[in-house]
């Protein structure tokens, strides 16, 4: 995917006609003047508000890993470009052209830092709807330049404590905590399979807090694994071994490995050949020894759980749908299911402006986060009226608590200093809402009988604040 700036679109604000010279001004009076005005209006000239040709576009950047051996998120940059085409086709943001730059941050610090420096060079007013695990590399350049980081995916702890970050969801911390609450009724022991490294260091405590907060026993086994592997047979065996002390119907595994989730679940299914994975009803056979196959009569059921971003409808489909290993799995997300009518506008934009780009899956959590982040950007820029749009003015609008509606996809968002819903230990968090989903008949749908409201939503605030690592964050 090209990471250079996109070609500029047709000018949204044509240059006004120059004032006539003093010596010929009288020529343009009367009927001829009216005809000339009519021609200008008929051609579409001058119909957008604001200044002329010297009005700079609103330049932003979206970055994500695109071609790595680990987690990739090409749908996020593709969604950003589709949003750009859609907005500009409708007259821009408040009459201003939107210019989207995309960058492959490569899932490594050098490339990520170069993306951030390029955002500074290009005078981006914000970094929007992006994914990166390289928090030190990305935040140093943009923080120094005063560029806000709006609607990051929520993969790192830094996104929820850095004053330059304006997240639109509760991130992986909220999902892991909510996963605990979702599994609590069914699980006495949960094996958490998560990435090696500091990114997931707090996840076991978060999962435990969610389990206990929902009345579960809260016994969590932490199993960090490499994320670039194609075979997890040894680790899958360890899961079965570590779950053995729990009663067979009450054993659960929560897998949060991003793109590597499919490889782990496949290995887990092969280690437990007599059953599969999913709910306690369908069962997931496994040997009590863990790696030596299935002994006679030793086929304990293992409930599978995961989070959006690790499990998607596309993954369920290509893994066999209702007959595959994800049937019955408990999945925690940030947003309504992709079938919810509140996603209708996003889906229309994808259909009309993505030009068949298969990277964009409307059910993908990264694509959805980018859509919501650009929705927030649009609201913020529109709130500036005819004033200048710079990194400073965008940040000021965010900091003063401008309210952002996302059409019901999230609660109303705001990041002002007096924001009452700031979460202890995660002070940048503006949204702790989560959704409880499940794979039922091969479809990722709202879970039945979980959470509050209509039965599929919950709030991760309490679990986040009760995480025993020092007010919710890292020690």
80 — pLDDT class (breaks 50, 70, 90): very high
The answer, yes or no, to whether residue 10 has pLDDT greater than 50, is no
pLDDT value for 9: 38
pLDDT value for 43: 38
CATH number of the domain bearing residue 116:
3.40.50.2300
Lowest-pLDDT range of 173-187, 210-224, 226-240, 448-462: 448-462
Same domain, 265 and 280: yes
The reported pTM is: 0.82
319 — pLDDT class (breaks 50, 70, 90): very high
344 assigned to some structural domain: yes
pLDDT value for 449: 61
The answer, yes or no, to whether residue 456 has pLDDT greater than 50, is yes
Calculate the average pLDDT of the chain. 83
The answer, yes or no, to whether residue 57 has pLDDT greater than 50, is yes
The answer, yes or no, to whether residue 87 has pLDDT greater than 90, is yes
pLDDT digits (tens, 9 = 90+) for 172-185: 999 999 999 999 99
pLDDT value for 155: 92
The answer, yes or no, to whether residue 332 has pLDDT greater than 70, is yes
Region 401-417: what's the mean pLDDT?
94
Region 382-410: what's the mean pLDDT?
97
Region 394-406: what's the mean pLDDT?
97
187 assigned to some structural domain: yes
Same domain, 93 and 154: yes
Region 400-429: what's the mean pLDDT?
87
87 assigned to some structural domain: yes
475 assigned to some structural domain: no
30 assigned to some structural domain: no
Percentage of residues in the chain with pLDDT exceeding 70? 78
Same domain, 301 and 373: no
Same domain, 219 and 323: yes
Same domain, 152 and 191: no
The answer, yes or no, to whether residue 268 has pLDDT greater than 90, is yes
Region 76-105: what's the mean pLDDT?
97
Same domain, 314 and 452: yes
135 assigned to some structural domain: yes
Same domain, 302 and 192: yes
pLDDT value for 409: 97
356 — pLDDT class (breaks 50, 70, 90): confident
The answer, yes or no, to whether residue 280 has pLDDT greater than 70, is no
Domain region containing 72:
58-170+338-431
pLDDT value for 53: 54
More confident residue, 290 or 155: 155
The answer, yes or no, to whether residue 24 has pLDDT greater than 80, is no
Percentage of residues in the chain with pLDDT exceeding 90? 65
7 assigned to some structural domain: no
63 assigned to some structural domain: yes
Region 397-416: what's the mean pLDDT?
95
Same domain, 348 and 411: yes
More confident residue, 41 or 148: 148
pLDDT value for 471: 40
Region 62-68: what's the mean pLDDT?
96
Instruction: Give the chain's domain count.
Output: 2
272 — pLDDT class (breaks 50, 70, 90): confident
Same domain, 92 and 188: no
pLDDT value for 357: 87
Same domain, 373 and 344: yes
More confident residue, 328 or 49: 328
Spatial distance between the Cα atoms of 383 and 428, rounded to a whole number of angstroms: 21
Region 464-475: what's the mean pLDDT?
55
pLDDT value for 344: 98
pLDDT value for 54: 65
pLDDT value for 28: 36
Same domain, 166 and 207: no
421 — pLDDT class (breaks 50, 70, 90): low
Same domain, 322 and 229: yes
């Amino acid at each position: 995917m090209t990471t250079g700036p996109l070609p500029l679109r047709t000018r949204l604000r044509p240059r006004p006609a120059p004032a006539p010279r003093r010596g010929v001004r009288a020529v343009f009076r009367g009927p001829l003047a009216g005809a000339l005005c009519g021609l200008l209006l008929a051609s579409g000239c001058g119909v957008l508000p604001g200044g002329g040709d010297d009005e700079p576009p609103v330049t932003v950047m979206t970055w994500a890993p695109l071609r790595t051996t680990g987690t990739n998120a090409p749908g996020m940059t593709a969604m950003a470009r589709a949003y750009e085409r859609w907005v500009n086709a409708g007259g821009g943001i408040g009459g201003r052209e939107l210019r989207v730059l995309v960058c492959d941050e490569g899932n490594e610090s050098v490339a990520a830092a170069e993306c951030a420096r390029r955002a500074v060079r290009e005078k981006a007013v914000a970094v929007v709807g992006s994914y990166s695990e390289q928090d030190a590399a990305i935040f140093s350049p943009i923080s120094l330049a005063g560029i806000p980081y709006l609607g990051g995916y929520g993969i790192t702890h830094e996104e929820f404590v850095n004053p330059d970050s304006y997240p639109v969801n509760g991130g992986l911390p909220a999902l892991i905590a909510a996963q605990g609450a979702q599994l609590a009724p069914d699980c006495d022991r949960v094996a958490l399979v998560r990435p090696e490294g500091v990114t997931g260091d707090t996840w076991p405590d978060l999962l435990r807090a969610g389990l206990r907060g929902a009345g579960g026993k809260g016994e969590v086994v932490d199993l960090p694994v490499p994320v670039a592997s194609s075979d997890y047979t040894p680790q899958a065996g360890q899961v079965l071994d570590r779950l053995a002390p729990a009663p067979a119907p009450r054993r659960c595994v929560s897998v949060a490995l991003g793109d590597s989730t499919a490889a782990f679940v496949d290995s887990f299914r092969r280690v437990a050949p007599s059953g599969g994975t999913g709910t306690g009803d369908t069962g997931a056979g496994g040997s009590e020894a863990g790696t030596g196959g299935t002994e006679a009569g030793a086929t304990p059921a293992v409930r599978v759980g995961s989070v959006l971003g690790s499990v998607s409808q596309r993954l369920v489909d290509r893994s066999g749908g209702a007959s595959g290993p994800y049937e019955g799995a408990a999945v925690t997300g940030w947003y309504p299911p992709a079938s919810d009518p509140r996603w209708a506008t996003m889906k229309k934009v994808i259909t009309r402006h993505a030009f068949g780009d298969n990277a964009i899956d409307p059910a993908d959590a990264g694509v959805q986060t980018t859509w919501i982040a650009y929705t927030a950007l649009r609201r913020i820029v529109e709130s500036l009226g005819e004033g200048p749009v710079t990194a400073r003015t965008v940040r000021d609008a965010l900091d003063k608590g401008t309210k952002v509606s996302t059409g019901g996809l999230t609660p109303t968002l705001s990041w002002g200093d007096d924001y009452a819903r700031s979460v202890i230990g995660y002070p940048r968090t503006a949204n702790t809402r989560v959704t409880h989903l499940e794979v039922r008949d091969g479809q990722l749908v709202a879970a039945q009988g979980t959470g509050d409201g209509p039965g599929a939503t919950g709030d991760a605030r309490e679990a986040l604040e009760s995480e025993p690592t020092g007010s919710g964050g890292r020690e």
